Amino acid sequence: MPFLQRSKAICPWKFSASRRCLIVLILQVSFLVLFGLIHLLFLSRTSPRSSTSPLLSVKPKFSARSPPLCPGLQVSEHKFPKIPLKSLRQNISLPQNDVSSDLRRRNALPPRNLDLFPYLSADHMVIVLYVHNRPAYLKVAVHGLSQVEGISEALLIVSHDGYFPEMNAIIEGIRFCQVKQIFAPFSPHIFPDAFPGITPGDCEKAESRNCKGDPDQYGHYRSPHIVSLKHHWWWMMNTVWDGLPEIRNYDGHILFVEEDHFLFPNALRNIEALSALKACKCPECYMANLAPADVNFKGERINALVADKIGNVGYAFNRTIWRKIHSYAEQFCSFDDYNWDISMWVVVYPEWGSTSYSLRGPRRSAQHFGKCGLHQGQKQGQPPCFDEGGQLPPVEEEDKIYNLDSNWIVRYSTVQGYDRGFKGWGGWGDSRDRNLCLDFASMYHVGVTI
Ligand X SMILES: *[C@@H]1O[C@H](CO)[C@@H](O)[C@H](O)[C@H]1NC(C)=O
Minimum CB–partner distance for residue 446 and ligand X (Å)? 12
In this chain, which stretch among 35-43, 85-93, 114-122, 205-213 interacts with ligand X, using CB under 6 A?
85-93
Task: Give the CA distances from residue 246 to residues 85, 243, 426, in Å, rounded to whole numbers and listed in that order.
Answer: 24, 9, 36
Site for ligand X in 293-352 (CB under 6 A): 318-321
CB-nearer residue toward ligand X: 156 or 438: 438
Alpha-carbon distance of 80 to 247, in angstroms, equals 13
CB-nearer residue toward ligand X: 144 or 314: 314
Minimum CB–partner distance for residue 40 and ligand X (Å)? 28
Is 358 an interacting residue with respect to ligand X (CB under 6 A)?
no
In this chain, which stretch among 89-97, 120-128, 145-153, 169-177 interacts with ligand X, using CB under 6 A?
89-97
CB-nearer residue toward ligand X: 18 or 320: 320
Please, which contacts does 386-391 make with residues 24 or more away whose CB atoms are closer than 8 Å?
387/136, 388/136, 389/134, 389/136, 389/137, 389/139, 389/140, 390/136, 390/139, 390/140, 391/140
Is 414 an interacting residue with respect to ligand X (CB under 6 A)?
no
Alpha-carbon distance of 273 to 61, in angstroms, equals 8
In this chain, which stretch among 86-94, 106-114, 257-265, 289-297 interacts with ligand X, using CB under 6 A?
86-94
Is 354 an interacting residue with respect to ligand X (CB under 6 A)?
no
Closest CA to 263 of 324, 333, 176: 176
Site for ligand X in 424-443 (CB under 6 A): 435
Binding site for Mn(2+), by residue number, is 260, 368
Is 87 an interacting residue with respect to ligand X (CB under 6 A)?
no
Q: Are 264 and 332 in contact (CB under 8 A)?
A: no
Is 112 an interacting residue with respect to ligand X (CB under 6 A)?
no
One symbol per residue from 41 to 80: x for binding ligand X (CB under 6 A), - otherwise; what is it?
-------------------------------------x--
Binding site, by residue number, is 161, 260, 368
CA-only gyration radius of the chain, Å:
27
Is 449 an interacting residue with respect to ligand X (CB under 6 A)?
no
Is 286 an interacting residue with respect to ligand X (CB under 6 A)?
yes
Is 446 an interacting residue with respect to ligand X (CB under 6 A)?
no
Q: Single out the residue of 127, 177, 184, 279 in contact with ligand X (rule: CB under 6 A).
A: 279
Task: Find residue 227's DSSP bridge partners.
Answer: none
Is 271 an interacting residue with respect to ligand X (CB under 6 A)?
no
296: exposed, middle or buried (Cβ count in 10 Å: 0-12, 13-18, 19+):
exposed
Minimum CB–partner distance for residue 166 and ligand X (Å)? 35
Q: Single out the residue of 231, 261, 278, 281 in contact with ligand X (rule: CB under 6 A).
A: 278
In this structure, how many other beta carbons lie within 10 angstroms of the beta carbon of residue 349?
23
In this chain, which stretch among 88-96, 103-111, 145-153, 201-209 interacts with ligand X, using CB under 6 A?
88-96
Minimum CB–partner distance for residue 57 and ligand X (Å)? 23
CB-nearer residue toward ligand X: 278 or 326: 278
Site for ligand X in 202-261 (CB under 6 A): 251
CB-nearer residue toward ligand X: 93 or 380: 93
CB-nearer residue toward ligand X: 282 or 291: 282
Q: Single out the residue of 44, 91, 296, 354 in contact with ligand X (rule: CB under 6 A).
A: 91
CB-nearer residue toward ligand X: 350 or 389: 350
CB-nearer residue toward ligand X: 88 or 372: 88
CB-nearer residue toward ligand X: 179 or 279: 279
Q: Residue 96: CB partners within 8 Å, gap ≥ 6? A: none
Minimum CB–partner distance for residue 271 and ligand X (Å)? 13
Is 284 an interacting residue with respect to ligand X (CB under 6 A)?
no
Alpha-carbon distance of 308 to 325, in angstroms, equals 19
Minimum CB–partner distance for residue 353 and ligand X (Å)? 12
CB-nearer residue toward ligand X: 44 or 91: 91
Alpha-carbon distance of 162 to 87, in angstroms, equals 28
Q: Which residues of this chain interact with ligand X, rule CB under 6 A?
A: 78, 89, 91, 93, 251, 278-279, 286, 318-321, 435
